[in-house]
Amino acid sequence: MLKIAIFNFKGGTGKSTTALNLGACLATSKRKVLLIDLDGQRTLSFGLGLDGDVPTALNWLSGGEIQPVETKTKNLWLIPGDLGMFQLEADADLFTPALAKLNRFEICLMDCSPGLGVSSVQAILSSDRILIPVICEPAVLKGLSEAVQLIREERPNVPVDVVRVRYRPRLVITKESEDLLTEAARRVRNIPLKLVKFARDKIALFLSNWLINFLN
């Protein structure tokens, strides 16, 4: 199972939307896809109409034998979010044994909460790739810099894909941010970092095709 953590230090960068749309695109390509909502805000669960459903990510990480919830999209399942994720504490690795129970899926997309909560850190440590959605705004770029620094310290060889969402090429701030992103990628030495941009309506389709090619 390919495990992908979708992460950014800053909220409001499109993590949940990216997880939802990418998961749906992969599912329509006949891949068995599992979404895990690790954010106590539960935006991903709400978007799928499953906010409040059980079992939740908290039940899953607590070691319980759970069955992910089947969504209305064929081949797409969800482990819904839980408000209690904000208070999750752990001294041991919760993700490795929990993920080992989900091997019937081909792809797992983990929608992480902003910041450095237990679930986000352990998702990053247990993932095969990390996807960082960014908006071309200064505050978001600051969050990207901090995220990449954290990943470099803990997982120097894990592939990181930076995806520019809500991309508006005509705006001056977009051009300035793009130059900063390109320069940042050039300077990174200890971590595989790839920048991806495309039209706003093509993001999920592009990523799903790219991941399918990667799996093949």
Span of 9-13, 136-140, 189-193 with lowest mean pLDDT:
189-193
Question: What percent of the chain has pLDDT above 70?
Answer: 72
Which position has the higher pLDDT, 160 or 16? Answer: 16
pLDDT reported for residue 201: 46
Measured distance CA(5)–CA(105) in Å, rounded:
15
Residue 200, amino acid: R
Mean pLDDT of 152-173: 73
Measured distance CA(41)–CA(86) in Å, rounded:
9
Q: Whole-structure pTM over 0.85, yes or no? A: no
DSSP string, 99-155: HHTTTT-SEEEEEPPSS--HHHHHHHHH-SEEEEEE-SSHHHHHHHHHHHHHHHHH-
- Token pair, residue 112, equals 């992480």
Give the gyration radius of the chain's Cα atoms.
16
- List of domains in the chain: 2-215 (3.40.50.300)
Measured distance CA(69)–CA(71) in Å, rounded:
6
φ/ψ (deg, to 5) at 119: -65, -40
What is the helix (H) or strand (E) element at residue 93, kind and residue range?
Answer: none
Measured distance CA(121)–CA(90) in Å, rounded:
11
Which position has the higher pLDDT, 6 or 168? Answer: 6
Mean pLDDT of 139-143: 64
Confidence band for 149, pLDDT divided at 50, 70 and 90: confident
Nearest to 215 by CA among 73, 105, 75: 105
Residue 190 has pLDDT above 50, yes or no: no
Measured distance CA(62)–CA(153) in Å, rounded:
27
Q: Are strands 69-70 and 76-79 parallel, antiparallel or unpaired?
A: antiparallel
Average pLDDT of every residue of the chain = 79
Residue found by looking up tokens 């896809």 in the block: 33
pLDDT reported for residue 25: 86
Q: What is the pLDDT of residues 39-82, one digit of tens each?
A: 989 999 999 999 988 889 999 998 878 899 999 999 999 999 99
CB atoms within 10 A of CB 171: 11
Residue found by looking up tokens 């090619």 in the block: 213
Confidence band for 143, pLDDT divided at 50, 70 and 90: low
Measured distance CA(140)–CA(133) in Å, rounded:
9
Three-state DSSP class for 85?
A: helix
